[in-house]
Amino acid sequence: MKALVLSGGSGTRLRPFSYSMPKQLVPVANRPILGHVIDSVRELGVTSVAVVVGDRSEDIRAVLGDGSSHDVDITYIRQEAPLGLAHCVRIARRFLGDDDFVMYLGDNMLTGGLSEIADRFRADRSDAHLAVRKVDDPRRFGVAEVDSEGRVLRLVEKPEHPVSDLAVIGVYFLTAAVHEAVDAITPSERGELEITDAIQWMVDQGGDVRTSVHQGFWRDTGRVLDVLDCNRELLAGLKPRILGAVDPNSRIVGPVVVGEGARVTRSHLAGPAVIGAGAVVSDSVVGPYTSVGDGCVLDRAGVADSIVLEGAAVRGVIGVHSSVIGRRASVTDSPVTHRRTLFIGDDSKVEVHG
């Protein structure tokens, strides 16, 4: 089996962060979302991976490289314009050949449960097998209407009046039968080749398309609050490791990782939390559920349930909660103790006063 990872989207809902980095590279637990995706693919036993990239291909290449750090071999395929998920399959035809493959949206975060679905796909030899999840508002998703055995009867993209609460969550196990389908469909009203249309074409032609309900954690990381949810989920399984320097006047409670070259003085770290390599934390309270990136500076700060990206600084500000602070951003000067929620993009400077 091969993998096709889609990483060309612009991430408008993640602005201001996606102005300066691809949305798939926003860090969760101090690692890019896309890195977690590649690891998830590798856990399925897949080593041959194509990553579909758009305008920010160089940023993604710089992070993933040739894939050796993830024990996979990565091929990059350029999509010149956002022409749809089925279009990604079409332009990857040479790479995919006639092999089975898993198509995985590069801004999705899933933990647990995918191996079981992959095993079902390998065992039942259906033309396609979709990971689905029950959701409260199916109108936001592609929705699968299925029979009692989980076979797809109909797929509808973001229906106004859903007949099912099973959302297709962005992981598709596909055989070579999908290539005829993507060649047969035409662009939708928004000018894209929709994978839902291709799979519906397979169903209409009598193809065997099945679903399995994913039982693990899942988030579409299209919104900042979803990214924070993912950060909490991954940090919850953290194993403590102290590689940097923690002085005797500091206290660590719960699972905490302190990266190489980091220095923690006169501070309280409440796990789960990660302090990145080379970060400096002094006279501060950090955590729980907080990721502090490499090279950050926290001085007289209080940060909890937040993500502080690489090189950012928080000085004299306490009560920062449920926040994301962009790379090299600076937050300074707060004499008050009220909680503050901040979504601050890269290279910003914010001064917080009473």
From 234, 269, 295, the end of a domain falls on: 234
Query: Are 258 and 224 found together in one domain?
Result: no
Q: Is 174 strand, coil or helix?
A: strand
Query: Are 225 and 247 found together in one domain?
Result: no
CA distance 15 to 74: 28
The tens digit of pLDDT for each residue in 214-248 reads: 988 998 877 888 899 999 999 999 999 999 999 99
Query: Are 50 and 152 found together in one domain?
Result: yes
Q: What angle do CA 55, 56, 59 make, to 5 degrees?
A: 160
**pLDDT for residue 121:** 96
The tens digit of pLDDT for each residue in 293-302 reads: 999 999 999 9
Query: Are 14 and 141 found together in one domain?
Result: yes
The tens digit of pLDDT for each residue in 280-292 reads: 999 999 999 999 9
**pLDDT for residue 44:** 95
Query: Are 199 and 267 found together in one domain?
Result: no
Query: Are 250 and 126 found together in one domain?
Result: no
Q: Which domain holds residue 340?
A: 238-351
Please give the biggest Cα pair distance in the chain.
Answer: 69
Return the CATH number at 342: 2.160.10.10
CA distance 154 to 151: 9
The tens digit of pLDDT for each residue in 151-190 reads: 999 998 888 888 899 999 999 999 999 999 999 999 998 8
Query: Are 147 and 230 found together in one domain?
Result: yes
Query: Are 81 and 147 found together in one domain?
Result: yes
Query: Are 130 and 211 found together in one domain?
Result: yes
The tens digit of pLDDT for each residue in 127-156 reads: 999 999 999 988 888 899 999 888 999 998
H/E element, 167? strand 166-174
Query: Are 246 and 177 found together in one domain?
Result: no
User: Which DSSP category does 69 fall into?
Assistant: G
Q: Is 80 strand, coil or helix?
A: coil
From 213, 234, 255, the end of a domain falls on: 234
CA distance 341 to 321: 6
Count up the domains in the chain and report the number. 2
Query: Are 225 and 251 found together in one domain?
Result: no
The tens digit of pLDDT for each residue in 1-45 reads: 999 999 976 555 555 665 566 788 889 999 999 999 999 999 999
From 190, 208, 234, the end of a domain falls on: 234
Query: Are 105 and 93 found together in one domain?
Result: yes
Identify which of 13, 22, 32, 23 has the alpha carbon closest to the alpha carbon of residue 293. 32
